[in-house]
Every structure is written in structure tokens, then in C-alpha cells.
Structure 1
Amino acid sequence: MSFIWSFAISSIMFGVFLLFFFIDKNNVSHKLKILSKNRAVLIYGLYFIFILVGLSYSQNWQQGLNKVISLSPLIILPAIWISEQLNLKHYEVILKYVKYLVIFSFLLLIFNHLYIESRQLGTFVQYAIYRRIGASQFYIAFILFIPILHCFYELEKKKQLVINILCITFLFFCIMILNNKTSFVLAFVLLLIGLYKVLRTSSLKIKILSVITISLVFLLLMSYSTKEFKSKYEVFVKTTDFDIEIIKTKNSVTYTQNTFEHRILIWNISLSEIIKNLPFGVGTGDYQEVLYNRFEEINFKTGLKLNLNCHNQYITEFLRIGLLGGTSFLILIFYLFQKASFKDKYYLFMIFSFAISCFFESLLERQHGVMIFAFFIPFFLGYDKELKSVLHE
């Protein structure tokens, strides 16, 4: 729950997890034995080692050290979840309470925004998310996917039909007001997957009624964001160029709003720096400074004002720590994908969402993204593994 409310509490909980891991004296040696044979933990560790190597040749040592500290959960949290061996009851109790706590949290945020601060719903992201939480709405969408997945799982088992449909409706509404294109696309994919799993064993009559009802609700929710998405769509269609020199010129003379062009420009700059600094990259502490200096060279006004990052985690890794770091990150993503199956209730969607999002966002530049990669993905890997083993029995 600290994911929604506080960076500080998340950091404290990370320390608490680490403390509990080592004070369990009777099982520490057994846990370490499990971890020594687990490939996921070893690849997470290898990736983190390359981040440390990148620190060794960074000119901005302090910035690099800060980055190492912020990424340290990647070597600790996966190890904790994989070695603790929680049973199915533990997971289901956690997810049950998380569902209602997430809904309650968003009800509070919306109520405070509308009735205490007397603001319009259209400004929810700017005030309730950016200013209050200090995180991009893209990261917050991930915490909404979890209770949606739980609702669909319970609907599959024909449990609390009305309550879960109401919960899904509200949670999709929350995603709509976050007003993020990537989150919206992922939510639509999640809706299709959820409907398929729920309706495949239902009667034809229930299938038709369910599709009509949920489609109407979905269209109603979309109507809220129509203006925002239409505005972004018009900006994309009317202003997008694919000639890099034209993009450079436009962005050097004015502050532009075409985020797609921003990405093309940043990726072009980053790729040239990757080639220039092969095979080791620019260093764990220097990659953002290198980008900023290139922004100054071409007078990229929006990039300088917002100090934009790569907006692509794969490119970020190759820029930061070169071939070794970038390759180890790709191997880690590939291995985590290998552990997924279409029978998963949570894990497949979480790792798919993360991997796809890494093409458009530098997720590990924020604590929220680190927690998704280090905490949620290993958590659901363990849950779906436990769930399949119980169902197999």
C-alpha cells in the first residue's frame, strides 16, 4: 500500500523485509541454499553486479552511488520472495485485502480531490498523483492491475459476481482518469484476457449479456477521456515528423507537446552515444548528464526544461553500462518471460506489461518502477507457481 501513498514508507518496508530475512536464524542457511540454485536470483544479481561495475568508471560518483542504492532492491527483494516459500493461503489473504485497500485508497483520493480541494476530475493526475504522491500515473496504473486481475480470478470461480463486477468497473474508471496512453492500452488487453477467461465456461446467454454490459460500461468510461485522448491523438497526427533533422529543428525553436517526437529525438541521441561509448557505456552515474549535454548542443528546449530521460529502459541499460549491462538486462527479461505460461492468473500479464512498457518508459529510473520489477514480479511468479502446484495436486 505504500506504493500508492509514500516513498518513505516503501524504503522503510524494504529495510524491514531485509531485517526479517536475516533474523530468521533457523532458516537463513536453508534460504541461502535455495537462492544459490535459483537462476532468476542469479541473473538479477549478475545485472546488479554490472551496475556496480558501471559505477567504478563513472565521473559523477555521487550520482552513480545514488543510482546503485535506488536499484539495490533488485538484488534483495527477489531473493526474499523466492526463498520464503509462502503457501497459497498467504498469497490469497494478501491479495484479498490489497484489492479492497487499493479501492478504498482511490476513493479517498478522488473524494479529497473533488470535495475537499474542490477541483475538477480532469485535474486529478496533476494534483492527486503528481503533487500528492510524486509519481507518474503510469506507475500507479500497475497497482490497479493487481485488484483487477484478482476480480477476474474470482469471477472465474463464480465468487461474489456483483461485487467483483462493481470493483472492476470502478478500477477501470480509475485507470481512465489517470489518462495515460500506455496504461489504457494495457488495461484494454487486460479486459479482453479477463473476459475470455471468465466467459469461456459460461452459457451463451450469460456470455452475450456480459459482453454487452461490460462493453457499455467500458464505452461510458471511455467517454470521460475522449477529449483528452482526442487532443493527444490530434497532436500526434498533425505534428509528427519522421525526419530527424526536422524534429531537431522544431524542438530547438519552441517547446513542443509531441511526446512521440521527443522519444524519437532522445532515442536517436542515445543510440549515437551508445555506439560512441562501446563496449562499456558512459557509466552508472553519467548517462543522464550525457543526455543533458547533448540536449544543450541541439537546444532541445523541452528536454532541457524537464531533464527528460531515455524513455526506453532497454536503451538506458546499453547507454549506462554498455553491452554487458544491456545484454544482462535483456537476458533477465527473457528468462522471466520463459517462466510464464498461459495458465498464469497474474504473472504473465505483469511481466508482459513490464517488458512492453520498457520500450516506452525508463521504468527503473523511479522507485515505483524498481518496486514493480523487484517486488511485484517475483511475488506473482511465486504465487502462480504455488497456485499451479496446488491445482495439479
Structure 2
Amino acid sequence: MNISEKNFNKIFNVFLCVIAIAMIFRKPCSLFIILFGVFSLIFFKKLKFNKTSFILIVCIASPILLELLLFWNNDSFSKGLKAIEKSISLLLFPIFIIGNYQRVNFLKTAQIYYIVTTIIMLFFLIRFNVVYPELSAKYFNGIDLFEIGYKFADSIGIHAPALNMHLAFVSVCALYFVFYSFHNNEKTAIKMLRFVIFLLSFFFVLFVNTRMALMNVLAGFIIVFFFEFKTKFNLKKMAIASVTVLMLLSGILFFYVKENPYMKEKYSTATFAYMDKVGKLDEIDHPEIKVYNSLVTRVSIWKSAWELSVKNLPFGVGASDGKPELNKYYKQTNQKFLAKYEFPTHNQFLDFLLKFGILGPIVALLYMLTIGYLGYDLKNAIILSFFLIFFTSNLTDDFLLRFDGIAFSGLWSSIFASYWLQQKTTSGKVPEAV
């Protein structure tokens, strides 16, 4: 099949944008990924690789390569295949995106992604108020403030921490392009539009209101500000933009916390309550009410996961058997609350240690540090912020178990790697792909 280079590049980048935007919708996104794979296979002759790109592909695909290496350790052949199927995008994305690295338009993809995703969130917020007016009424009356973000995420069909991980990255991208508009002297109307979209994106992070995402987005903002202060561009314009953004962010946070008193409780007493009950959650009266999302529950899970992991060194229990074996351990150690709700590890490094043994956390660290290296080497605030968001999110959750973490990180890390290769090829530090 023949296609012009111009049309191929256009279709290729449209796929990247559509997949990125659809990431919070599992079924449509899965379909787009399949179509992207078929499209890339049809034109496989356009793929070009060199030694450096091959190393990057291996680093990004390392989690699924580890699953293949230790496939023999699964108790069930079919469940082992299912575990690999969930991670297949970690092989597909680096091969087909990095193999076409010279065609990737990183900044344009990021711009379209953050704008369209924010507009989609606005649509779903309006829909949420129309379909669930009783929940909105409770929220505005200060009742059950803890549940509104989770209910909103459920109405979209995604887990709240996963949604807010995406939204945190969207908001960091939005802030980056606020400064980008000043760098490029865009029209005032465009600057204002970028600013409004940024404020909306930050509002959605607050609305979903998950602890790690809020801390990550603020840390991401700091990274963006830091690199902006290091750039050689009109300090007066940057100072005006920075002060304006900081004042508005401070104002939004102040009024949001004032109108949402649960914020104070959630980030203090609700998080750190009952820390003396680690491993003894059943001693708490109604733990599902008092500590379901508290740190003590996470630490109790981590304690059990660590103990079980140590018993199954050096190769772990197998990719398909991590959660079932952990649930069995809850029952064996008479932890009824944890057994009832079948909590996963809520820590990606412990999850990989449990499944794959010694190699597990090493591979997880390699995968994430690859993203960090790309951002550090390029001195790029978007990439470094993504690394921070994904790395810290996986300290309290296990997003390489979930489609919205696997595909999300696989797509963007492949895009980042392509951008890095473009910059290094231009500077002559990496040979042209062949």
C-alpha cells in the first residue's frame, strides 16, 4: 500500500493525539491502540532503528520483557497470557513510536492533548451536574465532601486516583503552555485562552481531590517555574505571568479549602489516623468507614506484601498470582478487613517484588528512571513533571497493574524518547536511524 510521506506523518500524529486523549476511556482507547498497531504494521518498512533507539525500546518495554522472562513462574498458563495482554502496549508503543521517532511532533501533541482533555472534563462536569443533581446539591451544601471526586470519576468510568494522575499531567502541560505563549509572543486572546484552560485544568485536580495528585501537580508547577526562571527570555514578561499565576493559584486554593472544610481533615487527621494499628486494622471499630483510604491501611498492606515477598524470593509468585496470593496471606494472618476488600499492594515496587522477586523492583525503577533521565537530559519541565507524577503515584498505588497506568506511561515515555532522539540527532550526538 502506497501513501505519501506527508499523509503518513499526519495520520501517525493524529493517532498519537487521539490515543492520548482517549486514555481515560479504556474501551475506545484500546480500539485506537489496535488500529494504530495495524496501521504501523502495514507500513512497517517506514520504521527505522539504531543502537540508541533499541536501548530506549528495551528500557520502556522492560516490564513486559520481565513478564515474558518469568512466564514459567505463573501457576496458570491462561492467566499468565492475560497478564501479558494487559502490558502489550509497553511493547507496541516503543517499537512503533520510537521506530518513527523523526515523525513525532511532541509539542503539538501535548498542546492538543491538554486542551481537548480539559474540554472533555468540562463536558463531563456539566453532565455530572445534570445526571446527578443530588450529589452536586450535597457537595454545595457541605455534605459528604469526601465522595464527590470519586463519584465524578466513577461517572466517567475510571478510578479517581488514576483520573487525577492524568489530570495532574494535563494541568502541568497547561501551565507550561501559558509560559510558552509568552515565549512566542502569541496574541493576547490566545494567551487568555491558554490561561483559562490552565485554571480549569487545575480546578479539576482539586475537584477529584486525591492527595497524591494534588501534591504532584503543585510540585509539577514548581518544576515549570524553576525552568522558566532559567530560560533566557524577557524577565519582565515572565515575572508578570508568574505573579499572576501564583496569585490565582493561591486564591483558588484558599477559597477551595475554605468552602471545602474536609480538605483540612483529609490531608491531616484522616490521612494519619490510627497509625498505631498497622497490621491490626480489625481492632478499629468499622475500619471501612474510618481508615479505608488512610495511610495506616496502606502501610498494613505494604507490611503484608513485604512479608509475603520475602518468603517467595528470588523469583516471586508470578505475574498472574500476585493479588490472589496476597489475598490468601491476608486470610492466613487473620486480617479480615484486608481480606474482605482484597486490597492490591498499592505500591508498584512492592507489587513487582511480590510477582517477580529480586528483578521486579529493579525493572520498575529502570522503567521510571528512563523517563526521568530523558527529562533531566533535555531539561524539559513537562517530561520531568511526568516522571515525578508517575513515580510518586506508584509509591502509593500500582499503576503498572492498570490499563490507565500501563498505556499512559508507555505512550508518553515513547513520545518523550522520540523527542529526545530528535534533539540528539540534530546535535549529532546520536547517529541517524537506519
TM-score (structure 1 length as normaliser): 0.86
Of 109, 114, 133, which aligns to 1:94?
109
User: How far off its partner does 1:279 sit?
Assistant: 0.5
Structure 1, 79-88 or 33-42: larger mean CA deviation: 33-42
Going from structure 1 to structure 2, the CA distance change for 1:269 and 1:116 (only over 3 Å counts) comes to: closer
Q: Which residue of structure 2 lines up, in the alignment, with residue 219 of structure 1?
A: 250
Structure 1 position 379 matched with structure 2 position 415: yes
SS at match of 1:59: coil
Cα-to-partner distance string for 1:157-190 (whole Å, 9 max, x where unaligned): 3433322222211111111111011111111112
In structure 1, C-alpha distance between the alignment counterparts of 2:165 and 2:362, rounded to whole Å: 28
SS at match of 1:102: helix
Q: Which runs of 5+ in 2 are unaligned?
A: 1-20, 140-144, 429-434
SS at match of 2:46: helix
User: How far off its partner does 1:92 sit?
Assistant: 3.6
Q: Which residue of structure 2 lines up, in the alignment, with residue 157 of structure 1?
A: 184
User: How far off its partner does 1:319 sit?
Assistant: 0.6
Q: Which residue of structure 2 lines up, in the alignment, with residue 125 of structure 1?
A: 149
In structure 1, C-alpha distance between the alignment counterparts of 2:234 and 2:342, rounded to whole Å: 51
Going from structure 1 to structure 2, the CA distance change for 1:382 and 1:124 (only over 3 Å counts) comes to: farther
Structure 1 position 303 matched with structure 2 position 338: yes
Q: Is the 8 A contact 1:186 1:353 kept in 2?
A: yes
In structure 1, C-alpha distance between the alignment counterparts of 2:414 and 2:167, rounded to whole Å: 15
TM-score (structure 2 length as normaliser): 0.79
In structure 2, C-alpha distance between the alignment counterparts of 1:141 and 1:251, rounded to whole Å: 30
Structure 1 position 12 matched with structure 2 position 31: yes
Structure 1, 99-108 or 382-391: larger mean CA deviation: 382-391
In structure 1, C-alpha distance between the alignment counterparts of 2:165 and 2:209, rounded to whole Å: 10
Q: Which residue of structure 2 lines up, in the alignment, with residue 271 of structure 1?
A: 306
Going from structure 1 to structure 2, the CA distance change for 1:382 and 1:302 (only over 3 Å counts) comes to: farther
Going from structure 1 to structure 2, the CA distance change for 1:184 and 1:389 (only over 3 Å counts) comes to: farther
User: How far off its partner does 1:287 sit?
Assistant: 0.9
Structure 1 position 236 matched with structure 2 position 271: yes
Q: Is the 8 A contact 1:274 1:281 kept in 2?
A: yes
Q: Which runs of 5+ in 1 are unaligned?
A: none
Matched positions, count = 385
Structure 1 position 52 matched with structure 2 position 68: yes
In structure 2, C-alpha distance between the alignment counterparts of 1:335 and 1:91, rounded to whole Å: 17
Going from structure 1 to structure 2, the CA distance change for 1:293 and 1:383 (only over 3 Å counts) comes to: same
Of 175, 179, 190, which aligns to 2:209?
179
Q: Which residue of structure 1 lines up, in the alignment, with residue 94 of structure 2?
A: 78
> Identical aligned pairs, as a percentage?
16
User: How far off its partner does 1:313 sit?
Assistant: 0.5
Going from structure 1 to structure 2, the CA distance change for 1:180 and 1:85 (only over 3 Å counts) comes to: same
Going from structure 1 to structure 2, the CA distance change for 1:336 and 1:191 (only over 3 Å counts) comes to: closer
Of 22, 31, 34, which aligns to 1:2?
22
Going from structure 1 to structure 2, the CA distance change for 1:157 and 1:228 (only over 3 Å counts) comes to: farther
In structure 2, C-alpha distance between the alignment counterparts of 1:197 and 1:46, rounded to whole Å: 30
Q: Is the 8 A contact 1:35 1:83 kept in 2?
A: no
Going from structure 1 to structure 2, the CA distance change for 1:284 and 1:144 (only over 3 Å counts) comes to: same
Q: Provide the alpha-carbon RMSD of the alignment.
A: 2.9
Going from structure 1 to structure 2, the CA distance change for 1:253 and 1:126 (only over 3 Å counts) comes to: closer
User: How far off its partner does 1:334 sit?
Assistant: 3.2
User: How far off its partner does 1:309 sit?
Assistant: 0.8
In structure 2, C-alpha distance between the alignment counterparts of 1:35 and 1:143, rounded to whole Å: 35
Of 313, 317, 327, which aligns to 2:352?
317
Q: Which residue of structure 1 lines up, in the alignment, with residue 130 of structure 2?
A: 115
SS at match of 1:319: helix
Of 141, 147, 155, which aligns to 2:165?
141
User: How far off its partner does 1:248 sit?
Assistant: 4.4
Of 297, 314, 334, which aligns to 1:262?
297
In structure 2, C-alpha distance between the alignment counterparts of 1:24 and 1:244, rounded to whole Å: 55
SS at match of 1:308: coil
